[in-house]
Structure 1
């Protein structure tokens, strides 16, 4: 008999508060199949789903079969999100490289569009992973009342109420919770930060004098020698005062 989901007290978060918001650039764009009019709009919806779950999807990460089913109307957006969360890419990049607690944080942020309330919620969902497996945990999130009330079957999940009333905004979930934890970031060798302990002094480049600089003419002036009159040596005894006084 599986253990039921433990009760946890939800904390007051920005996503739980209803308020009037003026649409702007900071508001999340809602992608839904209810108002799709062209194939390009469906492409944008699929790309938004990849960004929400994978943050970035390379060509090898794309689920072509799920995309084809969504384009043909065989599955809903909620089923497409379920397939991405159970895909090999999400398994290898998030589930296999993180603990259950951190995996719960990733899934709650990406699927429910909010941050985890507290450690009690992490423990409660981690028990679901241990008893029902990863697929049971993902299904429990997608079948929860919180998901159905906010996104339903046709809306791509997004970070709810990111903009605060004061004008500030919360960090995106991909920045708050990187894909790898500290252990695997150190194991994979990134980020690599190198500090130089040797003090290097910059040697200024020699500056050549420009045209018109007096230093260019110093050597030429010294080569000419002294061309003026020699100084006169005069003393008081050598002066003839009688002849120098003009006649009146």
Structure 2
């Protein structure tokens, strides 16, 4: 007998607040099969799905069978997202290296496009992971009214309301805010590493750099020259024979 999902109170997040927004360059680009104009647009949609779920997919991480089914119209975008969340790459990168609470946080961010409301929501969904497994948990998340009303069957999930017009800076992207490795596993892998930089790097604009023939270019070469002057001689005036040592010049016309 499976346990019912615990109740939790939603908090006021950006995506829950209604507002009038003017589209701009900072707004997220929505990828949906409802407005595809060419086969290349479908390729961009697939790449957007990989970025949303896996952040980056190498050739070995790509699900070519799911891509073929999506291109042939055999599955929907929601089915493709489900396949990526249940893939071996996502399991090894997120589930195997995190606790159930953090795994729930990662799935909510990538599938629902928002942060968890509170700790109680993490506990509620972690119980689903423990009782129904990863597959049952992913299915329940994708069957929620929130997912179906926000993205439906044809839209790739995205971080909702990350940028607000009233703010100078938007919220951090999920891949920066919540890295795939937990603090314990980051310490086991040896990162982040602190690199002490002894030399201070300075940036010189192109118009301030010395041109050819500038004397400042020869300053280093002149400093490397080991120029040693003549050692001054110490001669006492008492030891100088003026008549012999000082030459006598006879002026012309004077005898």
TM-score for the superposition, normalised by structure 2? 0.78
The aligned residue for residue 6 of structure 2 is 6
Query: How many correspondences in the alignment?
Result: 213
Gaps in structure 2 of 5+ consecutive residues: 200-218, 234-255
The aligned residue for residue 187 of structure 2 is 186
The aligned residue for residue 125 of structure 2 is 125
Superposition pairs for residues 45-64 of structure 1, below 5 Å?
A: 45-64=45-64
Gaps in structure 1 of 5+ consecutive residues: 201-205, 211-215, 224-248
Work out the CA distance in 2 between the residues paired with 1:146 and 1:91: 24
Q: CA deviation at 1:192?
A: 1.7
Work out the CA distance in 2 between the residues paired with 1:208 and 1:29: 56
Q: CA deviation at 1:208?
A: 5.3
Work out the CA distance in 2 between the residues paired with 1:95 and 1:113: 18
Cα distance change of structure 1 residues 155 and 192 upon mapping to structure 2, 3 Å threshold? same
Work out the CA distance in 2 between the residues paired with 1:209 and 1:92: 60
TM-score for the superposition, normalised by structure 1? 0.80
Cα distance change of structure 1 residues 136 and 207 upon mapping to structure 2, 3 Å threshold? closer
Q: CA deviation at 1:190?
A: 1.5
User: Whose Rg is larger?
Assistant: 1
Cα distance change of structure 1 residues 209 and 113 upon mapping to structure 2, 3 Å threshold? closer
The aligned residue for residue 228 of structure 1 is none
Work out the CA distance in 2 between the residues paired with 1:184 and 1:25: 37
Superposition pairs for residues 203-218 of structure 1, below 5 Å?
A: 209=222
Superposition pairs for residues 85-164 of structure 1, below 5 Å?
A: 85-164=85-164
The aligned residue for residue 77 of structure 1 is 77
Runs of 4+ in 1 over 6 A off after TM superposition: none
Q: Which moved more, 1:75-84 or 1:182-191?
A: 182-191
Cα distance change of structure 1 residues 195 and 22 upon mapping to structure 2, 3 Å threshold? same
Q: CA deviation at 1:207?
A: 5.2
Q: CA deviation at 1:194?
A: 4.1
